[in-house]
Amino acid sequence: MITSFRLISYLEGISYLAILFVTMPLKYLFASPEPNKVIGMAHGFLFLAYIVFAFLIKPEKQWNNKTLGIVLLCSIIPFGTFWMDGRYLKS
């Protein structure tokens, strides 16, 4: 389960960065919204999977509510999922 969560967190982080630094500039600077729709849909699915998996592995990793909150907060901070992986999953 943790291996799956690590994969989802990496993919979620990459999709978030792709939205911020690739598809949003394409959408607003070059009037090309199509990539944003595709990557945005994938990111939405990965974001929801990230949230669900965080709750599922909370008992396995014996996280308290504060740690779970930090893990969930990392999903909305750019590069947060990568930091979270190193801090809470590699042990």
Q: What is the mean pLDDT of each run of 10 residues along the chain (91 residues)?
A: 95 97 96 95 98 97 96 96 93 62
Domain that holds residue 26: 2-89
Task: Render the burial of 34-73: b for 16+ CB within 10 Å, e for the rest.
Answer: ebbeebbebbeebbebbeebbeebeeebebeeebbeebee
Q: What pLDDT, on the 0 to 100 scale, is given for residue 18?
A: 97
Domains in the chain, number:
1
Nearest to 13 by CA among 88, 84, 91, 89: 84
pTM over 0.95: no
- The pair of structure tokens assigned to 89 is 């999953």
